[in-house]
Every structure is written in structure tokens, then in C-alpha cells.
Amino acid sequence: MIVVLAVAAAAMSPPAARITRRSALQTAGAGLLLPPSVSTAAGGVTASPLVLPAIGIGAWSWGDSLFWGYDSKNDGELKELFDYYAAMPDPFFDTAEIYGFGRSEQLLGEFERASGKKVKLASKFAALPWKTTRGDVVKACEASLKRMGRDSMELYQIHFPNAWANADYIDGLGDCVEKGLVQAVGVSNYGADAIQYASEALGKRGIPLTSNQIQYSLLYPFANQNGLKRKCDDLGVKVLAYSPLGLGLLSGKYSKEKLPEGPRAKLAEAFFERDADVATRLVAAVKQVGDKHNGTPSQVAINWCIAKGTVPIPGARNLKQLKENLSALDWKLDADDVAALDAACAGIQPLAKSPFPEKDIRTGLRMFDS
């Protein structure tokens, strides 16, 4: 999967009183924690019709056997997870057509129908070399909806930039909105210049750019340094933080002596050995903050993303992981926590070279800059 190669890994109010997870989700669902995105269109500022919750769940591992070792015998655990989350206020799942080659979308659709609960679903268009027209975006959206057993979805995104045809992809997103296939649209793995272009192009049609889903974590904080996060904030484009746990390397489960199995092993080895000083400092800071709030390392990593104004979408493959993720909403980082974590991740370097093209060869538009 192409996104595998790219991944390696404002302060909130003081924690005077712990809040309940349900009340936090309810507040977010009411649009009070996170305001709708806005986009500067030709006729002014248009609010996004989609209100995003404080946290979502990524379903990359649902169906992906190559990277995450998916096995259909564990579908019961995924359904248990889905049913629990679907009963919470404002549940939000993010998937993509290439997650398990459509299997993730199928599972989400099956679980939603079986539960009788309505959830917010987001999926993504794979900008593969043979998909070069706006019509390809519409067809892919329709195929995703068919796999999910739906007539429409809440959010549809371009998964990653291509070396060409990016303008056509943005046109295709607009067409999906106008055809009533999607409520809102976004992009993923787009740089600052590409975000500006997409926002303006959609704005001319009166359509706001709701989100930019990017790799964002204590292990990959580069959007804070290169202006991408600031650009999204300026345009009212909400950042969806994927891999907020750094592919599990921020979960506290792994170390130099205990590496994860499979493709993540090399990334973990690079982190704990190549960047040993940074890794030691970061792991210690995460533990210290977690101990202060009686929280887990995963919750610290998620809360850092929330404190930065993003919507983290950590993955979960069972109910235990889901509950741990959602429990991050029971407490908040204070300003000292955020400063300590910022200092701890300073100097970290990417663990893998990005496969995304930097420029569109037809237009010269800079597409990716992290």
C-alpha cells in the first residue's frame, strides 16, 4: 500500500477535573469543540456542512493483510468494536478503496446495516496512474458507496497526489458533491500549495474544502515546521491526523529490544537505533506526561494531536484498543505538557522516504512538501 512507505511514525485547558468520554463526544457532535471548516470561495466564506468529532477511528487495518495481518476470523472482534462505537455520540470511521482492496469498506457497510445505527463514514479515492479524469473520481466514489451499501457518504477524499491529473481530481470531488454522492470533500497527503489550489478551485463552485488528512504525530510533526498546518488553519481546512500513534511506536509496547513484527519492524528499528537519543527523550516525555494524568502512552499521543487542533483517527482492531483511544477524551494536556512533548520530538527525522510526487508535471503545482 502506497501510504505505508510514507508513514514512520493552543494547548488545552488544565486537567482540573476529568470529563466523561460521552460528554466530550456529545459536545463535539454538537459542533462546540470543533467548528466546521470554512473555505474562501468567490462569493465569500462557505461553512462545511460536515461537523467532525473530536476523534475518529481509522480502518486501514480492516482487511489489510499485507501490512496489518488482517484475518477474516477476527471479523467478530471488529464487529464488536463497531457496535460499541456506533452506540456512542457522533461515531466517525475513515477508510479507503485500497484498504484491503475494498474489504474495509465492505466490513463497515455490513456492520452498519447489521447494527441499525448511522455512523459517519469517510473514504478515499486512490490516485493511481491509470486514473486520470474527473470521471474516474466519480466512478470510484460510486464503487465505494456500492461496497458500503450506501447512497451517499459523509466525507470523500483524494488519498494522495499523483504526478499529473491533480486538477481533474479536484474537479471530480466537486462533481461528487453536486451529484449528491457525498456531503463533504477533502484531500489527503497534500502540501500547502496544493491545499491552497484545492480550496480555491472548489470555492469557485461554492464547495468548501473540509479536510486534509495527513500523517501527524509526535513521531512525524513536520507539518508544524513547514507551514502546512498553518496553511490548513488559515483556510479553515481541518487536519485529520492519521497514524497519530506512529504505527504503534508511540503506544509504549515497543523498544529497541522488543520490535513489532512484519513491515513495521524496520521502521521501529530505525527509530530506536538510528534516532536513539530522540527516541529515548520522546519515550520518557510521553511516559512522564502519561503518569501525571494517569493515562497511557497512546492517550498522550492522541491528546497531543487534539491539543494541536487536529482530529486524530487512530486505528483500532478490537474493543480494548477502541476504549483506550476514546478514553483519551477523559482528560486534556495542559500548556506545560504540550511544551514538554514539543521539545521531546524536536530534531526527529523521517524514518522513510516519501513516495508522493512533489510536483504536478503538467501544472508545476507543488503537491507534497512534508
Q: Order of strands, edge to edge, in the sheet holding 209-215?
A: 57-58, 92-94, 120-125, 153-158, 182-188, 209-215, 238-242, 311-312
Question: Is residue 190 annotated as part of the catalytic site, yes or no?
Answer: no
Across 136-148, b (16+ Cβ under 10 Å) vs e yields bbbebbeebbebb
Instruction: Read off the C-alpha cell for 369.
Output: 512538501
Cα(97)–Cα(128) distance, integer angstroms:
11
β-bridge partners, 153: 182
- In 3D space, the residue among 64, 62, 56, 39 whose CA is nearest the CA of residue 173 turns out to be 39
217 Cβ contact list (under 8 Å, min separation 6): 9, 241, 243, 244, 245, 246, 250, 301, 304, 305
Q: Burial, 47: exposed, middle or buried (Cβ in 10 Å; 0-12, 13-18, 19+)? A: middle
Cα(262)–Cα(292) distance, integer angstroms:
33
Which residue among the candidates 99, 190, 216, 254 is catalytic per the annotation? 99
Catalytic machinery residues:
99
